[in-house]
Amino acid sequence: MRVLLINPPVRDFFFTPQRAYPLGLLSLATVLEQSGVAVRILNMPAGGKATTAGLPDDFRHLQRYYQENKSAFRLFSHYRHFGLPESSVDEHLRQFQPDMVGIAANFAAYLRETLAIAQRVKHCDARIPVVAGGRLATVLPETLLASSAIDFVLRGEAEYSLRDLCRVVAGKGSAERVAGLCDRRQGAQSRISRSIARIDDLNNLPILNRGLIDCEEYNFQGMRSAALLASRGCSLGCSFCAIRERFRFRRAAHVLAEIEDCYRRGIRHFNFEDDNMNLNPEFAALLSGIRERYSGTIRISFMNGLLSRGITAALRRLLLDAGLTHLDLSVGTVNSRMRAAVCRREQPRNVYRLAREFSSAGITTTVHFILAMPGQSRAMACAELRRLAAQPVLLGPSIFYPVPESPLFRKIRPFFPQWQEQLPLFRSSVAVYEREIARDDIMTLFALSRLINFLKVSVGSEAGRDVHLRDYLARTLSAFAAAGNSMASVSSTNFEVLSLRLVYYAAVYGRLYRLLKQGGDSPGYVAVPEVFAAPTLVRRVLNRLIIRAPSGATLRLGVPGDYAQDPAEKDAVQSGRRVFLAARSG
């Protein structure tokens, strides 16, 4: 028996490379391999270069927000295909000659990509059975089975159910005994299993065979990197989230054995993909084991976010000693009323305290929050940005998107009468929910959060100082000119200085601008106004804003009257016209 497991490419305005690690497929493949099945992984997002893709018709309204931009705090630009081309599937089918193909179907937003790969398989050889599994497959199996290119769907954690399905396809088992199996019987409607496979004891799963992938393809900050899971499930019950499975965890010794196997393969960075690592009672023991065995030789991160609760002084010390690269904290929202509405129990004061403590140890903290959640007004969103700007953290906004299996979606489903046809729109980059806050304002707030982050990083050299943006701009631009630099040349330093000029336009005139390279014979750049950004909203966020950087610097933006204004430039910016920035030095 030969099985090809495919992780489809991603089409979106952005993609985080660290999310390309095929952790789920590796777990499936390892169990299959131990059962005597020949298995190959085709992880399409990790290969090839990002290429511009045709914008789907139902995404065309987003061209208003995502355009070419050289600014240091730009939004996204083009809609792209991330990963290998679909045609690469043909070659793997010819070379490997699989008896079955499994396709990861985790996210409703990428349903089209999943179906496209299934159709590609059937186009090459209609006889090959195709099975889909993952979060989307578990929640909406009938949506996937509506495609003639998908023969089976497995609901739940499929390590053992996929093994059992292989036996059925090979003619050695009964489909009735495969947990969570959904299929489309000939001449009948789809059969949807009511059972959802769950693995009670994660310690019974084998150590992943990472020899099934090319470990050199996965890197973070110059180190060979791997993703790990020390637990599954969640008991918190946040209403915007879909995860409701019972929380289960692996013993520290089991995880350490996996780390040791990775270490022998030259892997030196480990990102734990757990949704709630803090709930794991083995967390401290795991960190102690990492410190004792690998102190100073590996780095760790938790990009899905840790909870501030339970991170004591002792645990903080363990995290630092174990090689923490940076800290991601998940808060949901800092508004107390909104936290109660979505059943989120994190306390912002604990988040801020931890950020200060880790910052003093040289660790940068990013606070992840949801922008434009149902029930959040524009005023509340503005206050959210201002409160987080005043803390020594980077802002990690995620624009709210509906999650079909979440309790919160049941409340807002009346606003999406055709929701099954809208699944590809259910992603952060689309801002599909705009009942309380208009999409133009959502995108403006998203852009402003990036502007704030740019300033937090830019002002890092002012560690411990309290400065006004007016003085910081004057000093930075003067030093730039004194060094003989010109804004007409292209370099990362120039983009930062040019971006500071765009900050000036936002702080003084309430105008957000994009930065473009000037075409033709004239060198330099042109600032183009963002048509979606209302000056009243920009001023509401930026006027008298206090920004605290992780470095300890404080930056005060003041009010428009604090800044010197050139009459000609003032007229152009206030009128929303383009501003030519060629060779400007201060």
Share of the chain above pLDDT 90, in %: 81
What are the E-state strand segments in 481-550? 513-517, 525-529, 546-548
pLDDT at residue 498 above 80? yes
**Residue-by-residue DSSP string for 384-409:** HHHHHHTSSSEEEEEE----TTSHHH
pLDDT at 2: 98
Each residue's pLDDT tens digit, 422-465:
999 999 999 999 999 999 999 999 999 999 999 999 998 888 89
Share of the chain above pLDDT 70, in %: 95
Query: Are 498 and 473 spatial neighbours (Cβ–Cβ below 8 Å)?
Result: no
Query: Are 392 and 548 spatial neighbours (Cβ–Cβ below 8 Å)?
Result: yes
Q: Is the dihedral of CA 294, 296, 297, 300 positive or negative?
A: positive
Each residue's pLDDT tens digit, 501-512:
999 999 999 999
Each residue's pLDDT tens digit, 104-149:
999 999 999 999 999 999 999 999 999 999 999 999 999 999 999 9
Task: Compute the mean pLDDT over every residue in the chain, rounded to the nearest whole number.
Answer: 93
pLDDT classification of 585: cutoffs 50, 70, 90: very low
Burial class (CB in 10 A: 0-12, 13-18, 19+), 564: exposed
pLDDT classification of 584: cutoffs 50, 70, 90: very low
pLDDT at residue 583 above 50? no
Strand order in the sheet with 219-220: 219-220, 223-228, 269-272, 299-301
Region of residue 332 (phi > 0: left; psi between -120 and 50: alpha; otherwise: beta): left
Q: What is the pTM of this model?
A: 0.94
Report the run of H or E that residue 32 belongs to, with start and end: helix 23-34
Query: Are 432 and 439 spatial neighbours (Cβ–Cβ below 8 Å)?
Result: no
Measured distance CA(533)–CA(336) in Å, rounded = 28
- Lowest-pLDDT choice from 148-157, 320-329, 330-339, 362-371: 330-339
pLDDT at residue 520 above 70? no
More confident residue, 254 or 586: 254
Q: Kindly list the distances between the CA atom of residue 578 and the CA atoms of 228, 343, 448, 516, 518, in Å, as whole numbers in the listed order.
A: 48, 46, 20, 10, 11
Measured distance CA(19)–CA(5) in Å, rounded = 17
The stretch 539-559 carries a mean pLDDT of 96
Selection from 79, 82, 85, 81 nearest residue 55 by Cα: 79
pLDDT at 586: 36
Measured distance CA(229)–CA(303) in Å, rounded = 12
Query: Are 65 and 75 spatial neighbours (Cβ–Cβ below 8 Å)?
Result: yes
The stretch 540-553 carries a mean pLDDT of 96
